[in-house]
Structure 1
Amino acid sequence: MKFFALLLLILGCSGLFQQASAKADSLTIDRVKKEIKQLQAEKKYGETAKAYDQLGQLYHQQYGYNKHTMEAYFNSMKYYNLVGDSLGYYNVHITIGNYYTQDYFMQSYAEQYLRRAMSFFERTNNKPKVIESRLGIANIDEKKEPISKNLVTQLRETEAMCVKYEQPYFQTYALNLLADTYLRLKRPDSAQYFATRSLAMAKNLKINWLISLNYFYLGIVEQFKNRHAKAIDFYQKSYAIAEAEKSISTLRELSKHTADSYSYLNDYKNAYRSSLKTLDFTNQFYYSQQTKSIRLQELDSQIKTLAVEKQLAEEQSRHQRIINSTLISILLISVLGFVALVFLRRQQKLIAHQQSVIAQQQIRQLELKSLQAMIEGQEGERSRIARDLHDGLGIQLSRIKLFVEAHQEQLPVSVKDPLNQFLDEACTETRLISNNLRPYALSTFGLIPALEDLIQKLNLVNETKLTLEHYGDIPDLVDEASVMLYRVVQELLNNALKHAQANLITIQIMANDESLLVSVDDDGQGGEFPDDPSQGNGIANIKSRIAYLGGQVMWQSAAGKGTSVMISLPMTRLVKSASTIPV
């Protein structure tokens, strides 16, 4: 199978071979799943752990950074722990830590896994694994701001350890991290030296993902030196390999830097295309259900751990009750002993009840934290991309338009008119994308002006008439609440415009000292709304955001009589006097 996969890589990524490889991988995955079921039935847990480890590798080959990959490795770690195989258990720690390193929101968990693994392998004097753990931690440290002054020294020491203990694979990676670190320190000559060394070793060892990264870093070096054509050539080489390896995070960064180089070369058409690819890869990596599931998986594992601890406490309580019953039958002749035993049982029940309540509270807190992390990550990434589009590509397009307008007399009419049209369309589309990601009116003027601006724009492009009415003194809301309410109303309007076939949509906002009421009504065809969130991501997103703000949402709809959505929110969770939304 390894030879077959290598042969496909050499022959190229034709559609026929990709289909054959995918089918072969799927068959292999199914075979390993069947083996796992058989091993579990036979209670061969050590072999089950290894089989799950193999399943994780197969999922990685087919899907890359994927929730199925992570689930397989978590199961592997669980069974290694069950049989007491510490080596396998901490090996999986390194694997999970390296996976989490790809995701900005999971890097704190990645560092915890890697440091636990390094502590174990240092105690057992397993030098290759110590080297691997050190490199994983260094990969996290170099992304922190500011960069540690000792990071270069630590990486050079790690490279020396690789040479001493004959670990060429890890030496190649250490050189690659040195190149990246020097780039972050704005020392392109040193970065070029280490990237070139790492690239030569990676090619010799046939480590595709390191080959791709080194081409990427060499492209950044050329960008530092204003040799943008050479930079694009390196980026394209890196892109081809990263695409074959399904590395979405690398593809995202490559597209972003490629757009920058095309802009410097005044090739704004390709710069615009690369910027759109950057946005697409960002959405794939941060907003897909797969990556959201991965971010929540660590918190889910903690919730499951608390549930297991609660189950163990209940089992211990049952055993204790059996022991107590036996003691009661023995000590019936002693009133004092009986009273003491009853008192002990009451205390134990009280403690068990308190532990149960605490566990439920911790589970709820973890669920709220996971929801908060997901929402903050979405809005933060949208704001960053909107700023990049506005401050980067938007400014460049405006400069081109001013330049063309200043030299109109030198251009023939057959060139001038289409060029102005193309530039106007590009500027308009860039503004629309940026405004949709982070509305300017929302961050500048607040919720009501932002909604008025949204409705004005929707009225220009839709036959359905939209109106906004607001009553009462609506106070300034905290930014988090304003963004969530804006997204909820935006989602409701989009659903109504898309499905309701309405002539009129009315938005009403009413405020008093205790609550904020929002209603969205249309006179469309109406319909039924499922209670199950899995039936629609839009409805699930609305419910989760309103629940996070401590409010309630209710749908009323009948066929041919339109739809009414009513939202009620407590004012104490919204106003600026409460500096943060309490968890």
Structure 2
Amino acid sequence: MSINYMYAQEFNYYIEKLKISNLDSVNNYKTNPRLNEEEKNYIQKQIFLIKKGEVTAPKKDNDNSILNNLLKGDYYLFKKNTNDSLSFNYYVEALKSSEEKNDTLLITESCRKIMLQLYKSRRAVEVYPTYLKIYKNFLYDNNEKANYIFYYYNHQTTITRIATINELKDGLKLAHKASNKYLQGKFNQLIGLFYQYYINELDSALTHQFKAKRIFEKKPYTLFVNELYGVNANIGLMYQGKGELDIAQSYFEEASKINIPNYKYLEKVKIRGLLATNYYLKKDYKKAYDYIIEQNKYLDTLNEYDKANKVNEINTKYKTAKKEKENLILESKRKRNQNIAIGLASSLALGSIIAFLLFKSTKRKQKLAEQEKEIETQKLTTVLKEQELNAIDAMIEGQEKERQRIANDLHDDLGGLMTTVKWHFNALKENGSTELYDKTNTLLDEAYQKIRSVSHAKNSGVIAKQGLLKAVKEMANKVSVANRLEIEVIDHGLENRLENSLELTIFRIIQELTANTIKHAQATETNIHITNHDDSLNIMVEDNGIGFNPNQITKTSKGMGISSIDKRVEHLNGKMTIESEIYKGTTIIIDIPL
């Protein structure tokens, strides 16, 4: 296929090297006179991402160039508290601009980052094929073809096992031709998993996992080192399945020593669970118990009752083993009292079991009662919210009808009357004073034009024929002029109109958010993003104002309209997120299902 480039050939050369992690070939980028500052900044941050596994915040957050949007996507994807929604939106904006420029290299760069984001977060399974299809149309070299195969077979849920392994091996060959070591390691890791779980050939699985391990160990970069975590865990699982528990333990411990990023806490949970299981199989219940406790430090999202059961199960095994050891010592010293000790122990055990079952039954009944009470409370709250929202909607509908009535009265009744009066004055012209006629006629024209202006002004709104997007843009244009605030409206996927009442509610929400910016933010720039994802609508309003502490804002806060906005969003089954820092601006994100 033909390849189009927007940037200079030198920049494209560096991108080609970076995408295969060949950092030795890009060392001279700072002294290359043919690169501008934007290009050098992008190269620098991609190098840092490979070496350290993170990207610093972009210097120009209001810069919506392709490269800066890609960097903003990287920042939100790899920072400590990942923001999948923002990351995805910035990558999509970069892809959209790349397609408008018809830049093959930047289209594939954007697509690979989108696929990585969806692969890492497993967000919106139905979105995955859309961007995979776009990516497929721009596979211009072996590296891109290999990446496509990797992401395609990671997404498939119904696949032919042997055929898939052969396809993955073809992808591995392409990764070798492209000299992409990282992708070679990922393919070997994935092939090993298919041999392990689908065909149950542990020897073949281990062969590929060890190949992946050797590849990732050769590079000191964080991008490669982080992958050793999963590889070592997979190898340990295979040895555990073969019953070689000591070898399995060594690989689990090697994985646990790798300092992976904080956002990979689930993998930290996984490795501690594997170690606990391994010690449990070795009947070392004390260490199994210790690893369960450590695992629970990371597993704060699980149900507390389930966690207690797991801890109690291991703890019981540990205490039982300890008790058995004490009983053996006691047995050697007190042989004569053996029958009495066994009978007493049995009675205590039976009594404990009965007490535990009674306690558990009581707790379950209490929990069910609390849940029923909470459900009734939620139902009541829902009814009250619906009543309040219905009142708001009725008020809005009444206002719109009143505007329409006034507009019709002004235009049809009073406008017609003024026209009739003017006709009378035309008759007066023939018999009366010409000077008096001209003055009177001028006043009538002026009055008629004012009536038309009031009529048109009263008749304007979202429910008119212009639609949501045009109404928002007109509002932004008027506010920009009136308040010395530059507002840019960025839309994606809004080619078709939404349902009229939905457009009205969304317009009121954006109008209220804009009013907040004018009243409180002291901002000079505001961006309004409206993105239609087929099954959901994403609204993001961001400004460069003084910001605030979101923890000090409540839904009942006066003066900021938070309660009104939140009720409208809840009525649409949507979700609102507020991100702000003092002197660093504010971003409000609203997701509404369609």
TM-score after normalising by structure 1: 0.45
Identify the structure with the greater helix proportion. 1
TM-score after normalising by structure 2: 0.44
